[in-house]
Amino acid sequence: GESVGLHLPTLSVQEGDNSIINCAYSNSASDYFIWYKQESGKGPQFIIDIRSNMDKRQGQRVTVLLNKTVKHLSLQIAATQPGDSAVYFCAEKRAGGTSYGKLTFGQGTILTVHP
Amino acid sequence: SAVISQKPSRDICQRGTSLTIQCQVDSQVTMMFWYRQQPGQSLTLIATANQGSEATYESGFVIDKFPISRPNLTFSTLTVSNMSPEDSSIYLCSVEDDSTYEQYFGPGTRLTVT
Per-residue pLDDT reduced to its tens digit, B21-31: 999 999 999 99
A89 in B contact zone (CB under 8 Å): yes
Query: Which of B2 and B63 is assigned the larger pLDDT?
Result: B63
A34 in B contact zone (CB under 8 Å): yes
A interface mutation test: which of B43, B48, B53, B104 has the most A CBs within 10 A? B43
Alpha-carbon distance B94 to B86, whole Å?
Answer: 22
User: What would the 3-class secondary structure string for chain B be?
Assistant: CCCEEEECCEEEECCCCCEEEEEEECCCCCEEEEEEECCCCCEEEEEEEECCCCCEECCCCCCCCCCEEEEECCEEEEEECCCCHHHCEEEEEEEECCCCCCEEECCCEEEEEC
| Per-residue pLDDT at A6 | 40
Query: Is B41 within 8 Å of A43 when comparing Cβ atoms?
Result: no
The β-bridge partners of B34 are B47, B93
Per-residue pLDDT reduced to its tens digit, B43-99: 999 999 988 889 999 999 999 999 999 999 999 999 999 999 999 999 999 999 988
A21 in B contact zone (CB under 8 Å): no
